[in-house]
Amino acid sequence: MQRTIKTFSVENTNVFKKQILLWAQQFETVLWLDSNNYKQQYSSFDCGLAVEEFTSIKTDYLNAFEKLKEYQTITKDYIFGYISYDVKNDVEELSSNNLDGLGFADLFFFQPKKLFFIIGNTIEFQYLKMVDDEIESDFEEISNLTFQTQSRNLKNKTSNSDIKIKLRIHKDEYYAKVNKIIDHIKRGDIYEANFCQEFYAENSTINPAQVYEDLNKISKPPFATFLKIEQQYLLSASPERYIRKEGNKIISQPIKGTAKRLRSKIDDDKIASDLSRDIKERAENVMIVDLVRNDLSKSAIKGSVKVEELCKVYSFKQVHQMISTVVSEIYPNTNPIDVLKTTFPMGSMTGAPKISAMKIIENLEETKRGLYSGTVGYFTPNGDFDFNVVIRSILYNQEKKYISYSVGGAITAKSNPEKEYEECLLKAKAMKYVLLNSSKI
C-alpha cells in the first residue's frame, strides 16, 4: 500500500505534540506512542501517531496469532494495535474466567489512513493515497490549534466526576494470596509469579486526553501510550519494552526490581545503588532473564541469544527500575508473528515456569487482566516491530463509566507480603494521584 510522505519543521515540538494529540481526538481510532525523548539505544522515532482506520482486525483469542499473521501479511503496511494478556489462551491450554469490567477485544490492529512520526523538530506525514490531498490542510489545522482552543475543548468534554477508587483485593486477602503463592514455590510448583491486583471506580467519568497528559507529565516514561477505540481508552505511562525487531535482531528488555525516587540527590543515588545490589530484586530479574532467553531461543539462530545488559538500574521520574536487555538473531525467513507467539505473554508479567505461573495467578487474581499486562505497538511494512508492556496504565470504558488500573509484583520464596503490598501501592501512586487530581495538575 503506497503512502504519500511529506515532512514539515516546527519550532516547538512540545507544543506541536499537544496540538496533534488534541487534533486526533476527533477520530474514533487513535494510537499515540511517545518516548518522551528518553535516551535509549533502540528507537525509531520520538513520537508516532496513527489515526482513522482504513482496514482493521478485531478478534478474540481463538487462533488470534494466525489471524494476525494473515492480516499483517496481506496488508504489507504499517499496522498499529494491541495484543491483550488473554491471548495466552491461544498459545497454551489456559483460560480467563475472572471478572471483566472493561470489555476490550482480545486482539486489535488497524491500518491507519493517516500516520505521523516526530523525529527531533521534523514532522513526517504518511497518508494513504485516498486522503493525501489533506496533508497540507491538516498540518495547518494542527499548527493553528491554540492553548485557548485546547482548554475550551477539554472543558467541553467530560470532566472528572467524584471518583471513588475501590480495591478488588483488600490488604488481608492480598497477604493470604501472596502466602499461597509462596506455598506453591516451597512445593516446587513455580519459582516466581507475577501477582496483580485491580483498583477500580464505577459510575465515573474522566477526560481521557487530559488524564493521559497529566499521567505522562508526572512520569515521562519511554513507552507512553494513548489509545482510543471508540468508547474504550488506554492511558499508559509504561517504562517497559516487551520486544522489538530490527531486521534479523530481536531485543527484549524485561523489568524486575523497583525503588522509589527520593528528593535528596544523595539519598536518591543511594537507594538506586541499593537496588542494584539487592539480592532479592536481582534474583527476580535473573529468573525472568532466564525465561526470556528460553523464549527467544525458540525462534533464534542457535547460539545467538545473548544478555547485553544484566540488572542495570534506570531512573524515571517516579521510580528507579532494574532492567535487563536480552537479544537474539533470527533467520531472514522467520515470520515476525512467530517471534511474538513464542514469547507471549512476556515473562516479566507471568513468572517461571511460565505455564504453571499463569495457571496459579489466574486462580488467585480476581480480575481478568485484558489489555493490562498485554502489549501495544506496531509493525512496519517490512515486518519490523516494537511493542511495550502495558503497565502503569489507566483503562477506561466511557460507555460503562468504568475506570481501572492494576499493579503487580514478582513473588518469590524471599517475598514478604507486607513489602509486596507496599511496592504495589508505590506503583499505583501516579495513577491514583492523576485520577483524583487531574483537573488541578
How confident is the model over 129-177, as pLDDT tens digits?
A: 999 999 999 999 999 998 664 544 444 444 455 899 999 999 999 999 9
- 203 — pLDDT class (breaks 50, 70, 90): very high
At 66-110, the pLDDT tens digits run: 999 999 999 999 999 999 999 999 999 999 999 999 999 999 999
Query: What global pTM score does this model have?
Result: 0.94
Helix (H/G/I), strand (E/B), else coil: 151: helix
pLDDT at 407 > cutoff 50:
yes
* pLDDT band at residue 385 using 50, 70 and 90 as cut-offs: very high
In angstroms, what CA-CA distances link 24 with 69, 163, 376? 28, 26, 18
Nearest Cα to Cα of residue 40 among 242, 379, 314:
314
Q: Give the separation between CA 348 and CA 350, rounded to whole angstroms.
A: 6
Q: Pick the catalytic residue: 240, 281, 329, 423?
A: 240
Q: How many CB atoms neighbour CB 330 within 10 A? A: 20
> What mean pLDDT do residues 302-330 have?
95
3-246+334-440 folds as Anthranilate synthase (3.60.120)
Q: Is 256 a catalytic residue?
A: yes
Which pLDDT score is estimated for 160?
52
Selected catalytic residue, list 113, 177, 256, 359: 256
**Region class of 356: left (phi > 0), else alpha (psi between -120 and 50), else beta:** alpha
Q: What is the pLDDT of the chain when averaged over all its residues?
A: 94
Task: Indicate if 155 belongs to the active site.
Answer: no
Residue pair 221/47 in contact (Cβ under 8 Å)? The answer is no
Q: What is the per-residue pLDDT for 148?
A: 60
SS3 state at 326 = strand
What's the rounded mean pLDDT across residues 356-379?
98
- Range of weakest confidence among 150-159, 244-253, 302-311, 341-350: 150-159
- Which of 46-55, 142-151, 379-388, 396-405 has the lowest average pLDDT? 142-151
Over range 401-417, report the average pLDDT: 96
Q: What percent of the chain has pLDDT over 70?
A: 96
